[in-house]
Amino acid sequence: MVDPKDIDFYSLGFNFIETKTMFMANHKNGKWDDGELMPFGSFEISPASCVLNYGQGIFEGMKALKAKNGEITLFRPEKNAKRFNLGAKRMLLPEYDVDKFISAIKSVVKENKDYIPPYDSGGALYIRPILFGYGPVLGVHSADEFKLIIFTVPVGPYFPEGFKGINLEISKEYIRAAPGGTGSAKTICNYAGTMLPAKESKLRGFSQILYLDAVHNEYIEEVGAANFFAMINGKLATPRKSGTILEGITRESVLEIASKKLGLEVEERNISYKELYEETCTEMFCSGTAAVITPIASISLEGKSRIFNNREPGEVATKIYELLTGIQRLDIEDDFGWITKV
Ligand X SMILES: Cc1ncc(COP(=O)(O)O)c(C=O)c1O
Question: Annotated catalytic sites, by residue?
Answer: 186
Residue 21 binding ligand X, by CB under 6 A: no
Closest separation between CB of residue 290 and ligand X, Å? 5
Neighbouring C-beta atoms of residue 275, cutoff 10 Å: 16
- Interface residue with ligand X, options 112, 227, 244, 300 (CB under 6 A): 227
Residue 20 binding ligand X, by CB under 6 A: no
Beta bridge partners of 224: none
Residue 292 binding ligand X, by CB under 6 A: no
CA-to-CA dists, residue 32 to 29, 35, 131, 262, angstroms? 9, 8, 12, 44
- In angstroms, the CA 336 to CA 255 distance is 12
Phi and psi at residue 305, to the nearest 5°:
-110, 155
Interface with ligand X in residues 166-225 (CB under 6 A): 222, 225
DSSP letter (8 states) at residue 258: I
Interface mask toward ligand X for 44-73; x: CB under 6 A? -----------------x------------
Half-sphere exposure of 228 (CA within 13 A, CB side): 28
Number of residues that bind ligand X (CB under 6 A): 14
| Strands 31-32, 166-170: pairing kind | unpaired
* Closest CB to ligand X among residues 60, 111: 60
Closest separation between CB of residue 303 and ligand X, Å? 26
Residue 251 binding ligand X, by CB under 6 A: yes
Residue 248 binding ligand X, by CB under 6 A: yes
* Closest CB to ligand X among residues 35, 288: 288
Residue 249 binding ligand X, by CB under 6 A: yes
Phi and psi at residue 286, to the nearest 5°:
-125, 160
- In angstroms, the CA 263 to CA 246 distance is 25
Contact window for ligand X (CB under 6 A) among 138-146, 167-175, 195-203, 282-290 = 282-290
Closest separation between CB of residue 332 and ligand X, Å? 19
Residue 246 binding ligand X, by CB under 6 A: yes
Please name which of 65, 73, 129 lies closest in space to residue 97, comparing C-alpha atoms.
129
Closest separation between CB of residue 30 and ligand X, Å? 30
Determine whether 140 is exposed, middle or buried from the number of CB atoms within 10 Å of its CB (0-12, 13-18, 19+): exposed
As a whole number of Å, the end-to-end CA separation of the chain is 23
Contact window for ligand X (CB under 6 A) among 148-156, 165-173, 199-207, 248-256 = 248-256
- Interface residue with ligand X, options 149, 168, 226, 232 (CB under 6 A): 226
Binding site for ligand X (CB under 6 A): 61, 222, 225-227, 246, 248-251, 287-290
